Amino acid sequence: MSQPALMARLSAMFAFSSMILGAQGMLLSGHMGALGFNGPQISYVSASMSFAALCSPLVAGWLADRFWPSQTFAGWCYLLSAPLLFWGWMQHEFAPLWLAMALFCLIFLPTRSLANVIAFHHLGDFRRFGQARVWGTIGWVGVSWGLSLYLELRGGGEGHLGDGLLLAAVLSAIAGVYAFTLPHTPPGSNRSSGTSLTAAFSLLRQRGFAVLVITAFASALAGPFLFNFGFLFLIDPDRLGLSPGTANMLLSLAQVAEVFTMLMLTGVLRRIGLRWTIFGGLLAQALRLGCFAVAHSLWVMVFAQCLQGVAFTFFAIGSTVAVDRLSPPQMRASAQGLLVVINSGMGALVGHFTAGRCYDYFATPGGGHDWGNFFLLPGIFTLGTACFFGWAFRGGEEEGTG
């Protein structure tokens, strides 16, 4: 297979993965709000991915490393995810919807790491990997805008917010068939992924790594406030009162910004270093939460969504660079896995439960919410996290960015 053809195939692989994740998740909180779910119920469903992050990628990585080609394993995960999404689309009660989404997340989440394994096996070069990976972000934006247009054509879309689950089911079925046609990636092509996470805990004796892990946990607490309830905030008539389609398109600006900030990351790392790059990402997240707390203007929200590009790229991608620099080569896979468990698993779980409780706590007698204090609380906490990291983090600056 020629290199341009290989790049196109792998780019489509990443696009499918992100389109499925975006289609099922972007409108889900609005759908649950329309069904009358309370704050904790919305958070419990949204936390399904964090529960899955605690175990699913590790078990799947061990299986793929020893028994099945990565593209075959990914294909079956996609195909099994499709009926679960369809089942979730049909539900209107909390318990069956939660069960459908929990099972979906357990089965789907391994496809994210398997896609990385397939791409690294056939590309090798990190810069070429990035050229394929960016199509995941583009796919997310594309499906977001498509859903926004669909909702507007349905007269605002208030009764069709759950249709994102149906679209995700269709995309998952197509992705499953497509995965079987990807270049063969035999078992054992990423042997280190099966390494026990316990080895990475020894790195916590390093000050820099320990500070990074603490920061990753703390920063994850704020994410669910935005991801679970940002859509409900935007359509609240007491604030911006946007239509569901417009609100969804506005939220997708974050991914557009990510494309540009990813292109800037290497230059920023060289200019200000790893420590202040990650600090800048945390500061951008705190400022974004502050914008949500005070916003009554559409343009303030446009600015807030653009900040997400800085927050995600500088902190999330910067953190993976930091782990790579702070870990010996034989422990890097385990260290990256530990970061995922702490950030996307443990920290996000606590954030989901906290955000759900705060959503109910800041409810007002008239049926609205005190959005200012709801977003101000995690904003102040994230600002404190940024200051802690800037003061405490040391290490990882001696190497070039590559």
Query: Distance between CA atoms of 261 and 266, rounded to whole angstroms?
Result: 10
Lowest mean pLDDT among 73-87, 328-342, 375-389: 328-342
The pair of three-digit structure tokens given for residue 326, joined into one six-digit string: 């702070």
In this prediction, residue 247 has a pLDDT band, given cuts at 50, 70 and 90, of confident
Per-residue pLDDT, averaged over 241-264, amounts to 84
Of 159, 194, 229, which one is at a domain's C-terminal end? Answer: 194
Check which CATH number belongs to the domain holding 103 and give it: 1.20.1250.20
pLDDT tens string 158-170: 678 889 999 999 9
Strands (E) in 114-165, as ranges, are none
pLDDT at 398 over 50: no
Per-residue pLDDT, averaged over 212-240, amounts to 90
Of 194, 217, 250, which one is at a domain's C-terminal end? Answer: 194
pLDDT at 402 over 50: no
The count of residues in the chain is: 402
Percent of the chain with pLDDT over 90: 38
Domain co-membership, 309 together with 396: yes
pLDDT at 63: 67
Domain co-membership, 160 together with 247: no
pLDDT at 60: 65
Domain co-membership, 190 together with 202: no
Q: State the residue range of the domain holding 122.
A: 1-194
Domain co-membership, 190 together with 200: no
Per-residue pLDDT, averaged over 241-261, amounts to 85
pLDDT at 249 over 80: yes
Q: Give Cα separations from 329 to 59, 196, 245, 333 (angstroms).
A: 22, 15, 46, 8
Domain co-membership, 246 together with 125: no
Per-residue pLDDT, averaged over 25-44, amounts to 86
In this prediction, residue 211 has a pLDDT band, given cuts at 50, 70 and 90, of very high
Domain co-membership, 86 together with 59: yes
Domain co-membership, 178 together with 215: no
Report the chain's mean pLDDT, rounded to a whole number: 85
In this prediction, residue 399 has a pLDDT band, given cuts at 50, 70 and 90, of very low
Helix (H, G, I), strand (E, B) or coil at 385: helix
Query: Distance between CA atoms of 218 and 96, rounded to whole angstroms?
Result: 31
Domain co-membership, 185 together with 205: no
Highest mean pLDDT among 262-271, 304-313, 314-323: 304-313
- The DSSP output letter for 328 is -
CA dihedral 203, 208, 213, 218 (to 10 degrees): 160
Highest mean pLDDT among 124-138, 174-188, 205-219, 323-337: 205-219
In this prediction, residue 365 has a pLDDT band, given cuts at 50, 70 and 90, of confident
The pair of three-digit structure tokens given for residue 186, joined into one six-digit string: 């035999």
Would you say the pTM of this structure is higher than 0.85?
no
Domain co-membership, 235 together with 246: yes
Domain co-membership, 190 together with 207: no
pLDDT at 388: 96
Q: Give Cα separations from 281 to 81, 133, 274, 312 (angstroms).
A: 33, 20, 11, 7
Of 146, 169, 194, which one is at a domain's C-terminal end? Answer: 194
pLDDT at 390 over 90: yes
Q: Give Cα separations from 105 to 57, 111, 347, 360 (angstroms).
A: 11, 10, 17, 26
Domain co-membership, 259 together with 125: no
Q: Where is pLDDT greater, at 245 or 355?
A: 355
The pair of three-digit structure tokens given for residue 86, joined into one six-digit string: 């369809």
Percent of the chain with pLDDT over 70: 87
Domain co-membership, 190 together with 269: no
Q: What secondary structure does DSSP assign to 56-114, as a single string?
A: HHHHHHHHHHHTS-HHHHHHHHHHHHHHHHHHHHT--SHHHHHHHHHHHHHHHTHHHHH
Per-residue pLDDT, averaged over 298-313, amounts to 91
Counting the structural domains of the chain, the total is 2
In this prediction, residue 177 has a pLDDT band, given cuts at 50, 70 and 90, of very high
What angle, rounded to 10 degrees, do the helices at 371-392 and 348-361 form? 150
Per-residue pLDDT, averaged over 25-39, amounts to 86
